[in-house]
Each structure stands twice: as structure tokens, then as C-alpha cells.
Amino acid sequence: MVDYKFPKDFWWGSAASATQTEGSHNGITGETVWDRWFSEASNRFFDGVGPGKTSDFYHRYKEDIKNMKDIGHNSFRMSISWARLIPGGTGEVNQDAIDFYNAVIDELLAQDIEPFVNLFHFDMPIELQDKGGWENREVIDAYADYAKVAFDLFGDRVNKWFTFNEPIVPVEGGYLYDFHYPNVVDAKRAIQVAYNTMIAHARVVKLYHANYEGDIGIVLNLTPSYPRSQNPADLKAAHICDLFFNRSFLDPAVLGEYPEDLIDLLEEHGQLPETKVQDKELLKNNIIDILGVNYYQPRRVKAKEYLPNPYAPFMPDWFFDNYEMPGRKMNVYRGWEIYEKGVYDIMINLKENYNNIPSFISENGMGVQNEERFIKDGRIEDDYRIDFIKEHLKWIHKAAEEGCNVKGYHLWTFMDNWSWMNAYKNRYGFFAVDIETGERTAKKSASWIRDVSKQNGFNE
């Protein structure tokens, strides 16, 4: 008997993305926004390490998938690089990429690991970004064509698809807060990008449901917005924060419509996106089958201390200030609060307000710097990561016990990988990766999760 037993057929695994693992200099591939940005501003990447130098999954996938099997994975979420499959984003399909992704999918299945495949993880082909990226509705057409190619090529073996990973992040990073290319600060354009992304999502959900068998969903980083207090001003701040950063994607994906109070707020401030008449029906009729939930930290907010600068750009932050709760537990390496109960609160919200949609934790993890400090007898003793996972799993277990439709847990990530501007500053994996040699070494957490998967649970 185990203290925390999970539902039958629970998905144990991890998640990764193409750009962060394959290496953009490996094989035949087009350029993405990351290749462009690194060539223009390598100083913005930790230690000057760009997307050409990743953990080399492209050449070592068989070794990595064997290691996944060895530690009890029954599922793995990967992504396809649009720029690799169709260099330039439109036109001829790349046979080298077809061969690679076929080999990866076949190897996963041979090891009894179900592939969950995501179509877009921050990696716009640069040619399409030069046309405006998600600001341009022509890119929606190109994305739908790309999705059809992927479904036709791999859909005979892949039964779980995801349109986007964390679609709010390119909006925040690329069009609001200057931490992703194209480094624009313009809320009107940001909102258009967010809206067009969801139209692209709905187009592909419609395409999939009409022509293929399986489940299709989206992966959202849901960050609960907790008010400082129950004062009405703090409650309103948290509500608006939730509208911008969670419900702007969650509601159209799961309920098929945008929250009315979000629409009213954007209209009041002249920030509504351009739409087409048919969009509303498209969203309403093409909701997802499954939801991936990425959860790392809570968002704590309070009412504004001061009125926004009327001469500054419009921002979501006009309506709230961030709040640092006294006594909060921190991951000091990322500057993120650790609040395990957040994952339970998300699941209860999905149960009560989103039709208890089938969902799973598609990312959760703890990035730590200089993990070589914790090597003992050749192994990184990452007890802090084990504790982090265990405490989140306890709340996931409680949610499942209370009827939440939670079906799995995937760690970010299987092995240490390149992490956008942070490169290899913080390590997340079950397996350590030597940057120079590429050698993989299991951490203590790898043996722990193997036992958890085998027992479908764990003891206190």
C-alpha cells in the first residue's frame, strides 16, 4: 500500500520542446525567431549560448527515450518545429524532418511511451515573423496548412495533439515586456497577437475534429491570481489580472467565448482587436478535448498604489500591483514563489467553472543553478526537486480524490535543456547534461520518479 495512490492509467512523464532540445544547427531546418534574435543580440542570452547549442536530442533521442523508459515514463510531451518540418513556414515539406520525427515517434512507441505532440512552442519561422507573425491573419492560414501536414504524417500513431504551448508567453514577451523577439512594447498589437493565436487554435481544432481520430487540446500556463486581502479593491485587481493572464486563453479554449468583462475593459480603453464576423462561431464550435496545465508559481496582486502614468504605454499592470506575501517560500534561483496548493486551486477551478475538462499537469518543475554543488559519488542529490515534486503531487492527489478530472503529471523537463535567454543557467531535468560532452547522468530524482511511476503513487 502507498499513502498517495493515483488514478488508474495516470500519465507519468515529462515535457520538452523542439527548439530547446534538438539544436537548430542539427539536420536540415529553417530559421526561427530565436536564431534571428541570437544573431542580432547574443548578449541577451546567458553566457552567450544560443539555440544552436542544446542537449542534442536530434542525435541522441534513442538514448534519451531509453532513459525515459528506465525511469518509468509512460508518456512524453514533445513539440514539432514548424521551421524544421516546413522551412520558411510555407511550401515544401522537409524529408529530413519527416524522417527524424517519424523515428522519434516510433522509438517512443517501441518503448511503450505515448507521444503527446505540440505544434507550436514559441518558435515562429522567421520568414513568417517578418510578415507580422501572429499579427497577420495570413500566418493563421499557414499554421493551419502546417498542422494538416503534421496530422497527415504522424496522426496514424499520435492520438494526443496540442495546438500551442503557453500562448500568453509570446504575447507578454514579444509585445508587452520585452523578453522575447520581436521586442515590441505595444498592448494593442499584443492583444491582436493573442486574439489571432486563438483563432489559429480554433481553426486547427476544427480541422482535426473533422478529419482525424484522437484528442486535441492546448497547453496553458495557468497562474492563479491571489489578492492581497479580501478588500474589494484587492479582489478587483486579482480579477482583472486573472482576465488578462489566464481567462483570455482559457475561456475561449474550453468554453468557446471570451469573458464579457474582459471585452468591456478592452473596449473602454480602446484596445479591442480586429475581428471577423465568423470568428465568434468558430470559437464557439471548436472547443478542446483536453487541457494541459503548466504551473510553476502563483501571482499575488493588490490594488494599485498610484495611478498609471497617462503618458506610458497601456499595460495590464494599469489595474494591479504585484504583491510580495510575507513569509512566502521561494526558489531563490528563479526568484519564483513555491506555492504547491496553487495546483489544487487550478484543478478545483477547472472542475467548478470549466466543465471538469480532462486535464493534466503538462509542466511543473524547479530550476536550480550550479547543481554540481550537490554531486555525491557521481550523482546530483537533488532532494530539493524530489520535495518540490512530492508536495505538488500531494495536492494533485487531493484534487483527484475530490473528483477533479486530472489525468497525469509531466515534469519540466526530462533532461537539462537550453532555456531561452537563460540558456543553461538553471537546470530542471531528471538527468543532468554535460554541456561540453553531452553526457547524460541520472539525478537522484530520476530514481525517485521511477519508483513513483512503478507504484502509481508514493509514501510520505
Cell of 23: 539544436
pLDDT tens sequence across 145-168: 999 999 999 999 999 999 999 999
The CATH number that applies at residue 67 is 3.20.20.80
| 352 catalytically annotated | no
pLDDT of residue 334: 86
Cell of 168: 500568453
pLDDT of residue 53: 82
pLDDT tens sequence across 308-323: 999 999 999 999 999 9
pLDDT of residue 401: 98
Closest CA to 222 of 167, 273, 283, 177: 167
- Cβ atoms of 370 and 435 within 8 Å: the answer is no
- Residue numbers of the domain that contains 313: 4-458
pLDDT tens sequence across 240-297: 999 999 999 999 999 999 999 999 999 999 999 999 999 999 999 999 999 999 999 9
Total count of residues recorded for the chain = 460
- State the average pLDDT over residues 383-393: 97
Task: Give the max Cα distance, the chain.
Answer: 64
Structurally, how many domains does the chain consist of?
1
- What is the reported pTM? 0.97
Cell of 321: 500591483
pLDDT tens sequence across 184-234: 999 999 999 999 999 999 999 999 999 999 999 999 999 999 999 999 999
pLDDT of residue 1: 84
Element (H, E) at 406: strand 406-412
Q: How far apart are CA 25 and CA 315, in angstroms?
A: 37
235 burial type by CB count under 10 A (0-12 exposed, 13-18 middle, 19+ buried): middle
pLDDT tens sequence across 15-33: 999 999 999 999 999 999 9
Mean pLDDT of the chain: 97
Q: Confidence class of residue 89 from pLDDT cuts 50, 70 and 90?
A: very high
Kindly name the residue from 268, 363, 391, 436 that is annotated as catalytic: 363
**Least confident interval from 81-85, 96-100, 144-148, 423-427:** 423-427
Q: How far apart are CA 27 and CA 59, in angstroms?
A: 9
